[in-house]
Structure 1
Amino acid sequence: MSAASRVAAARRWFRLLGKTPVVDHGAIVVADPSHPNVWDANFALAEPDADPDAVIAALDRAMPHSQWRVVVADALTDPAMAATLGFEGFEQAGPLIEMLASESASLSQAVAPITLRRATPDENWPAFELLVRADHREGLRTGPYNVELSNGLLATMRNRSLLCHYSIIALDGVDVGYGLSTRCPNGLGIIDELFTLPGWRGRGVMSAFIVAADRELRQAGCDGVFLDAFADDRPRLLYARLGFRPVAITCRWTKRLP
């Protein structure tokens, strides 16, 4: 299996983590009527040999509660799927670059002396939620602040926190950010959902977290670690300095019904 396909398989596993997907005519569909307009809670993936029209029809059947139709395309998606989505009026959101480090992440200079605390619904969750809300209000990753969206994303994070590792990142005794790391079933590790409060950026906080998370994942048996970055965002340059290299593109195709 190529690096791109392996990363795509691990990303799909993570994307479905804590959710209840249904397979319908080659479409792997996640639907959550309690959060009808949250894209991460209502979307479809296409199996590699799926008929594009059948995938779109399955999405329509599963989403009477939502005004959005969302399909995530990755290295395992047939090119005909993306072509059909474009033809049917879906719009491509900003692409994400999947970046893989085969060797341990490292920096030539010392990293910030951060400390980490685990966040679960029973452990440090109020402090974690404060950071997540700050992330959503800034809106760089999630768009303009919306209470429904923020609540929906936090609900997904609560479910995931029982299955993977969310960390509160502190520097000089102050909670300044958060991040996620977990081992995927195919032996890759994933680092995701990274945020640092604006006033604490530029101090090496996230570099330190990525290096620490990478070390922990490799000690747990991972033979590679990956993360993603928006194609037009500066963090991709930081990740490259840490040893991550681009291997694939993931795109979200969306359509809003009248």
Structure 2
Amino acid sequence: MTGADARRVAAARRWFRVQGHVPVERDGVTIVATPAHPNTWDANFVMAGPGVGAAAVLAALERFDRWRVVQADALTEPGVEAALALAGFRAETLLIEMLAEQVAAPLPAPAIELERVGDAAWARLAALVEADHREGKRTGDYDAAVAAGLLAGMRRRLGPCDYWLLTEGGVDLGYGMTAVCPNGLGLIENLFTLPEHRGRGLMSAFIVEAARRLRVAGCDGVFLDAHADDTPKLLYARLGFRPVAVARTWVKRVG
């Protein structure tokens, strides 16, 4: 594990965060704002560039009149996070960024079918995203407006990102996303299996196959994130992913 790994993953994650949005750069701070979905955090946030201090971050946040959200990672100066804590922001989400050069299931994985999502299959993906959001493990308490914002953001990312339906015998079991990042890393994201189909190794099978496809596409490593307080992190470790950094979402309600 090296600091270079952490910085490379952070750079790739930052590229992904702005996909589907029109970011604005101000004094080294990346600002993403989506007035149509003001309560959707992944559509309204700022990120401080390397070497950028807290004053520039706090100034950029002044444009948000409801939620102020900062995405912090290995490229964020430590003083920025300290200043946010002092200003009453809370660290809402702690994620472990995990990287693998080789991915393999320790046991034989079940056979699943992957269907790339386009316009014809979008309603099926939307139904799974709704179920994911209603469960609330990854997205917080259900809110119809937030759910609509999440789905709209996913749709805007089509192209640089591929969404996949996990199916078996014509039945939709879950979904996931892959992306080839500009710095040669592959990203696996948005992993969800319907509760009644869990415990069978379906997501392990998806991750292994997704990693294989990303390698074929030219990626020399694959990364994903894991909630620090949830059990999937142990699954990812068994598949060959190692922790390289943590990332935090800092949040303050002002409106």
TM-score bin, normalised by smaller chain: over 0.9
1:252 aligns with 2:249: yes
Cα-to-partner distance string for 1:77-126 (whole Å, 9 max, x where unaligned): 000100110011100013000000022x1023211110011112x23111
Equivalent positions of 1:4-83 (< 5 A) are 4-61=6-63, 63-64=64-65, 67-83=66-82
**TM-score when normalising by structure 1:** 0.96
User: Structure 2: which 5+ residue stretches go unaligned?
Assistant: none
Show structure 1 runs of 4+ deviating over 3 A.
none
In the TM superposition, what are the counterparts of 1:106-125 in structure 2 within 5 Å?
A: 106-120=104-118, 122-125=119-122
Question: Contact between 1:95 and 1:252, CA under 8 Å: does it hold in 2?
Answer: yes
SS of the residue aligned with 1:213? helix
Q: Secondary structure at the match of 1:124?
A: helix
- Aligned-residue offset at 1:146: 0.3
Match of 1:153 in 2: 150
Question: In structure 2, what residue type is equivalent to 1:82?
Answer: E
Distance 1:227 1:256 in 2: 28
1:162-198 residue CA offsets vs partner (Å, 9 max, x unmatched): 3211000012331010000111000000000000000
Aligned length: 253
Give the counterpart letter for 1:137 in structure 2.
R
- Kindly provide the amino acid, as one letter, of the partner of residue 93 in structure 1: E
| Contact map agreement 1:26 1:51 (CA 8 A) in 2 | no
Distance 1:222 1:55 in 2: 32
Which residue of 188, 191, 198 corresponds with 1:191? 188
Q: Distance in 2 between matches of 1:77 and 1:248?
A: 12
Q: Secondary structure at the match of 1:5?
A: helix
Q: 1:96 aligned to 2:95?
A: yes
Amino acid paired to 1:143: G
Q: Could you tell me which runs of 5 or more consecutive residues in structure 1 were left unpaired when the two chains were aligned.
A: none
Identity within the alignment, %: 56
In the alignment, which residue of structure 2 is the partner of 1:237? 234
- CA distance in structure 2 between the partners assigned to 1:171 and 1:248 by the alignment: 35
Structure 1 distance, partners of 2:223, 2:53, is 29
TM-score normalised by the chain length of structure 2: 0.97
The letter for the 2-side match of 1:114 is I
Residue 215 (1) aligns with residue 217 (2): no
User: 1:135-182 deviations in whole A, cap 9, x for unaligned?
Assistant: 011111111110010000000000112321100001233101000011
2:106/2:239 contact within 8 Å kept: no
Query: Distance between the aligned counterparts of 1:19 and 1:123, measured in 2?
Result: 23
